[in-house]
Amino acid sequence: MIYGLRTKSATGVVELDENSFTVRIIYSALIPKSAGRFVDISIPEVEPEKYSAVCVPVAPYNTSGQSWDAICFIPEVTLGNVRVWFGNRQSNDGPLGTATQRLLVMRYK
């Protein structure tokens, strides 16, 4: 190992080193439903090959059962940008996300 961090268990087994798969959150924000089908968020360093994104609910789902209206936020990572779709990006039909969600953009190795 030339440089880096190596973590070992109590028995001396390497559990984390410079070759381990890791994920780091590089951006986190609340995304409310806004006008239109999507919102673009500029994050200059992102690229689809090394970054991923997910939207997670910040409040309980509708009490009348799982509501597609509340959960249909779909993030798309492009070069220097993350686009959050409020529903199916291939169709204008179908459910549209309406509840605020947290966008997490992650870099993975």
Per-residue pLDDT at 12 exceeds 60 = yes
Per-residue pLDDT at 49 exceeds 80 = yes
pLDDT of residue 16: 83
Percent helix, percent strand, percent coil in the chain, to nearest 5: 5, 40, 55
Confidence class for position 65, pLDDT limits 50, 70, 90: low
Phi-psi region of 98 (alpha: psi -120 to 50; beta: other; left: phi over 0): alpha
Confidence class for position 26, pLDDT limits 50, 70, 90: very high
Across the chain, what does the average pLDDT equal? 83
- Extract the tokens encoding 103: 């966008």
The reported pTM is 0.74
71: part of which helix (H) or strand (E)?
helix 68-71
Confidence class for position 78, pLDDT limits 50, 70, 90: very high
Would you say 57 and 98 are in contact if contact means Cβ atoms under 8 Å apart?
no
Q: What's the CA gap between 87 and 5, in Å, rounded? A: 41
pLDDT of residue 72: 79
